Amino acid sequence: MTAAIDVSGRLSKMPAQPGDPVTYTLKVGDTRLPLNDLVGRHVQIDYEGTIRCIHCDRKTNKSFSQGYCYPCFKKLAACDTCLMSPERCHYHLGTCREPEWGETHCLTGHVVYLANSSGLKVGITRASQVPTRWIDQGAIEAVPLLAVANRRLAGLVEVICKQHVADRTNWRTMLKGGVASINMAEARDELLAKIRPELEALRAEHGSDALKEVNKEVLTLGYPVEVWPEKIKTHNLDKNPTVQGILQGIKGQYLLLDTGVINIRKYTAYHVRLRVH
């Protein structure tokens, strides 16, 4: 008989490694659990009523920006509005909340990409976060579009692309499975052709080496899911501190239970007790 598990600690975003299927780890405090091995077992998560900021460890009644207390949310560059709207990056204006953080996270190579999570979408991420970002979004296939010099420039390209391609994932569709495959290489070439004049204008302003087209193979991803939910019911630890059910799969940052789904990343910094029977 497989041993029971009973651990407590602070939840964190699930690390994942690409593969067929993707391999997940569940982090609860200092414990690392090979999550794929738990598919098919009964899982219970009890929120113990404590949230501690992932930056300063201050106790907070509410989590801001997935794991921060309010003072950190207001002062940290990682919580600035330009993280959600990268074209609004203001480092070049000298107003970055934390210039050193901006140098390591924003003034570094980024990738503009196309992914298929619930249909074709455009997105950006640091080059070092490929393919992690695609996995977190539950993409079944993805391909780089452009390599760009920094986050702001990637955001400017994304704004151009959004005139032709969606920039959001329908997470409910993503979690139901059955997302139709797309010819991603063809979609990449078609989009590049549409936006070429705008790209040339950006190159003229920022330099020809600042935006480079990337011709890499499409990455295909599979997920450890035994049963796809027919209807999406979400668990909310703030409203009901106990979540339990049979773990039927993992996709993106979601656990798919037979009783509903839960976004683990949303509850980063929540102290929980996890039991697996």
20-66 tens-digit pLDDT: 899 999 999 999 999 999 999 999 999 999 999 999 999 999 999 99
Instruction: Note whether 211 and 132 are same-domain residues.
Output: yes
**H or E stretch including 45?**
strand 42-52
Q: Express as a percent the part of the chain with pLDDT over 90.
A: 96
Q: Tokens at residue 205, please?
A: 């302003």
- Taking 70 as the threshold, does the pLDDT of residue 1 lie above it? no
Compute how many other C-beta atoms are within 10 angstroms of the C-beta atom of residue 40: 12
- How many domains, the chain? 2
Kindly state whether residue 98 falls inside one of the protein's structural domains. Answer: no
31 vs 9, 136, 198, 274, CA distance in Å? 8, 21, 48, 11
Q: Which domain holds residue 266?
A: 5-55+223-276
Instruction: Note whether 179 and 258 are same-domain residues.
Output: no
Structure confidence at residue 68 as a pLDDT band (50, 70, 90): very high
- Taking 80 as the threshold, does the pLDDT of residue 2 lie above it? no
Environment class of 135 (CB within 10 Å of its CB; exposed 0-12, middle 13-18, buried 19+): buried
Kindly state whether residue 30 falls inside one of the protein's structural domains. Answer: yes
The answer to whether 28 and 264 have CB atoms below 8 angstroms apart is: no
Report pLDDT for 258. 97
Kindly state whether residue 247 falls inside one of the protein's structural domains. Answer: yes
- Residue 96 CA to residue 102 CA, distance in Å, equals 7
In degrees, to the nearest 5, what angle opens at C-alpha 128 toward C-alphas 151 and 173? 80
Give the chain's mean pLDDT. 96
Classified as helix, coil or strand, 44 is: strand
Instruction: Note whether 162 and 203 are same-domain residues.
Output: yes
Alpha-carbon torsion, ordered 34, 37, 40, 41, to 10 deg: -60
Instruction: Note whether 37 and 113 are same-domain residues.
Output: no
177 phi, psi to nearest 5 deg? 75, -175
**H or E stretch including 156?**
helix 151-161
Q: Which amino acid is at 265?
A: R
Structure confidence at residue 255 as a pLDDT band (50, 70, 90): very high
Kindly state whether residue 47 falls inside one of the protein's structural domains. Answer: yes
Structure confidence at residue 232 as a pLDDT band (50, 70, 90): very high
Instruction: Note whether 119 and 216 are same-domain residues.
Output: yes
- Residue 76 CA to residue 124 CA, distance in Å, equals 21
Report pLDDT for 106. 96
Report pLDDT for 3. 86
264 phi, psi to nearest 5 deg? -65, -40
Instruction: Note whether 209 and 188 are same-domain residues.
Output: yes
Instruction: Note whether 128 and 230 are same-domain residues.
Output: no
Report pLDDT for 19. 86
Listed residue (111, 157, 119) closest to 138, CA to CA = 119
Listed residue (129, 212, 206, 198) closest to 157, CA to CA = 198
Domain boundary among 176, 198, 220: 220
Structure confidence at residue 177 as a pLDDT band (50, 70, 90): confident
- Taking 70 as the threshold, does the pLDDT of residue 121 lie above it? yes
Q: Express as a percent the part of the chain with pLDDT over 70.
A: 100
> Is the backbone of residue 156 left (phi > 0), alpha (psi -120 to 50) or beta?
alpha
Q: How far is CA 84 from the centre of its chain?
A: 12
Kindly state whether residue 42 falls inside one of the protein's structural domains. Answer: yes
Structure confidence at residue 98 as a pLDDT band (50, 70, 90): very high
Kindly state whether residue 65 falls inside one of the protein's structural domains. Answer: no
Whether the predicted model's global pTM rises above the 0.75 cut: yes
Instruction: Note whether 153 and 238 are same-domain residues.
Output: no
For the residues 157-161, what does the mean pLDDT come to? 98
Kindly state whether residue 74 falls inside one of the protein's structural domains. Answer: no
Domain boundary among 220, 249, 268: 220
Instruction: Note whether 263 and 190 are same-domain residues.
Output: no
Instruction: Note whether 204 and 242 are same-domain residues.
Output: no
Kindly state whether residue 80 falls inside one of the protein's structural domains. Answer: no
For the residues 75-81, what does the mean pLDDT come to? 96
- Residue 181 per-residue DSSP state: P
- Residue 2 CA to residue 6 CA, distance in Å, equals 13
For the residues 215-235, what does the mean pLDDT come to? 95
Instruction: Note whether 262 and 204 are same-domain residues.
Output: no
Task: Name beta bridge partners: 213.
Answer: 146
Instruction: Note whether 230 and 176 are same-domain residues.
Output: no
